């Protein structure tokens, strides 16, 4: 099953997409990676969805990536007498540790870590920023605030603290249990919420012990400030525009998105643009024009993947949402302007032998009559480097490791194929020729470019390139090993 686009689609599973038929229909419509949201559903439900995905993978013969999205610590106010209260602009409002039901003058905030970090002038945002409070005076167990934006505040609404780094770990006790559960299941990616610093990523990596790749969600201003350091220790990035748009002025989010996508591309690490991409399709069979433009803008930026959340998890039109995203991607990528934009944003000169190999592979493929680039990669690094070049021709990522094939499903342009293990370059060329024909990318009369690292099985050794015929009968016995 060959996709007719380079950008990947991540679809979240949920109540609207939890059975075999629906999940398979989502895959056939274009979903490349499925997201399991650990904020919704118990372990038995998550386990069943994972089982169904692997069954579909077996039935279709195509690797499918699975991303488990950890909830992260949830900061919420307590409860109110009467379930809610009205706050007016300019009034005083107190937050404290007292669990007595609140009213229009005070409420519990059961997170002493927040009080420890607050300073006069800090902002507190409640209910996705609909209520805005400014700290006037604070102590270890309370904060006296003034209401900047009022409205109705109700039980257990979420709290955001945008302008301080909170002394909270990115992993709650629930997250630790969920992480171990999904790693034992065999997910391919762990999405880490509430990332503020590189140490948060290091903690998750230590717990995962190599069983899944770590994808950091950028949803807090502190993460934007420390992005270069967070990117260096992450395997991938999600630009989570929901909380980011709450904690920062909304006009800041588009340029931040562009900068982060470009930095991920330069680092050869996959990046997902997420949140509210086709939000109206939760209830409507067609998206708004603005949503289509938003998806298209992310694709023009060269993002690796675009993501559906509630649209595919709880909406009335999950399959139509994936089909729409697929159609938008195909249309954008057929636009000559897209090729110009991608080429212009490819980046500057590279430093290593591997950089030179993959850059040459792209130039040869685009200059000569080459149908496909075939990249052998055990760890995935060689394929990631080829994808970073954003070549015009298709890329087949060949690996003997199913885990690598599944993880690479998230990366721009990679058609992942599991092949038998090879120990000689000639064998790799033959396997590449067979895959290119078998997967419908080339005919026996065509040529392909093969990249690999020799000796095989050693990560980070991308050091060889060859132009070869797609008919392995033309690969002579005297050809180099």
76 catalytic residue (yes or no)? yes
217 catalytic residue (yes or no)? yes
Q: Give me the residues paired with residue 192 across strands.
A: 216
Contact 168, 200 (CB under 8 A): no
| Residues counted in the chain | 481
What is the phi/psi pair of residue 139, to 5°? Answer: -145, -175
H helix runs in 43-169, sequence order: 43-60, 112-117
The closest alpha carbon to 50, from 62, 65, 40, belongs to 65
275 catalytic residue (yes or no)? yes
**Out of 12, 145, 275, 399, which one is annotated catalytic?**
275
Contact 354, 375 (CB under 8 A): no
Q: Are strands 462-469 and 395-399 parallel, antiparallel or unpaired?
A: unpaired
**Out of 76, 94, 350, 426, which one is annotated catalytic?**
76
**Out of 5, 8, 35, 381, which one is annotated catalytic?**
35
35 catalytic residue (yes or no)? yes
**Out of 49, 106, 157, 217, which one is annotated catalytic?**
217
Q: How far is CA 430 from CA 48, 201, 233, 422, in A?
A: 39, 40, 36, 10
Crossing angle, helix 43-60 and helix 20-29, to 10 degrees?
A: 50
Q: Provide the token pair at 440.
A: 């419908």
Task: Please tell me the distance from the alpha carbon of residue 433 to that of residue 429, in angstroms, as a whole number.
Answer: 6
Find the angle CA(287)-CA(290)-CA(294) to the nearest 5 degrees: 100
Residues marked active site are found at 35, 76, 217, 275
């Amino acid at each position: 099953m060959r996709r007719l686009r380079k950008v990947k689609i991540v679809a979240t599973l949920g109540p609207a997409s939890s059975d075999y038929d629906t999940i398979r229909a989502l895959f056939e419509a274009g979903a490349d990676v499925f997201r399991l949201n650990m904020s919704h559903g118990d372990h038995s439900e998550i386990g069943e969805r994972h089982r169904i995905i692997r069954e579909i993978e077996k039935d279709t013969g195509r690797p499918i990536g699975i991303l488990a999205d950890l909830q992260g610590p949830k900061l919420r106010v307590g409860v109110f007498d009467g379930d809610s209260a009205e706050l007016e602009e300019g009034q005083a409002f107190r937050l404290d540790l007292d669990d007595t039901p609140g009213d229009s003058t005070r409420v519990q905030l059961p997170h002493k870590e927040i009080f420890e970090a607050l300073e006069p002038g800090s902002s507190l945002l409640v209910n996705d920023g609909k209520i805005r409070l400014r700290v006037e005076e604070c102590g270890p167990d309370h904060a006296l605030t003034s209401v900047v934006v009022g409205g109705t505040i109700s039980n257990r609404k979420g709290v955001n603290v945008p302008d301080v780094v909170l002394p909270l770990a990115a992993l709650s006790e629930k997250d630790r249990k969920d992480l171990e559960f999904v790693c034992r299941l065999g997910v391919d990616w762990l999405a880490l919420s509430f990332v503020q610093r590189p140490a948060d990523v290091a903690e998750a990596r230590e717990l995962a012990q190599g069983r899944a790749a770590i994808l950091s969600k950028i949803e807090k201003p502190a993460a934007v400030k420390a992005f270069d350091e967070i990117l260096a220790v992450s395997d991938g990035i999600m630009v989570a525009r929901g909380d980011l748009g709450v904690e920062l002025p909304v006009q800041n989010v588009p340029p931040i998105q562009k900068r982060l996508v470009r930095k991920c591309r330069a680092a050869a690490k996959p990046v997902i643009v997420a949140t509210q991409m086709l939000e109206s399709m939760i209830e409507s069979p067609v998206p708004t024009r603005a949503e289509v433009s938003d998806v298209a803008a992310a694709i023009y930026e060269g993002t690796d993947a675009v993501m559906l959340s509630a649209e595919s998890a709880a909406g009335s039109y999950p399959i139509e949402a994936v089909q729409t995203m697929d159609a938008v991607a195909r249309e954008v990528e057929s636009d000559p302007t897209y090729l110009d934009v991608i080429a212009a944003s490819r980046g500057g000169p590279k430093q290593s032998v591997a950089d030179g190999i993959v850059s040459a592979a792209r130039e040869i493929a685009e200059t000569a009559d080459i149908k496909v680039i075939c990249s052998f990669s055990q760890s995935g690094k060689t394929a990631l480097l080829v994808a970073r070049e954003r070549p015009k021709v298709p890329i087949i990522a060949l690996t003997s490791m199913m885990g690598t094939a599944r993880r690479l499903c998230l990366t721009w342009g990679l058609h992942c194929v599991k092949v038998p293990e090879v120990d000689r370059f000639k064998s790799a060329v033959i396997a590449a020729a067979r895959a290119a024909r078998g997967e419908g990318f080339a005919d026996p009369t065509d040529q392909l470019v093969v990249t690999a690292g020799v000796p095989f099985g050693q990560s980070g050794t991308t050091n060889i390139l060859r132009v070869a015929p797609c008919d392995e009968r033309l690969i002579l016995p005297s050809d180099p090993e």
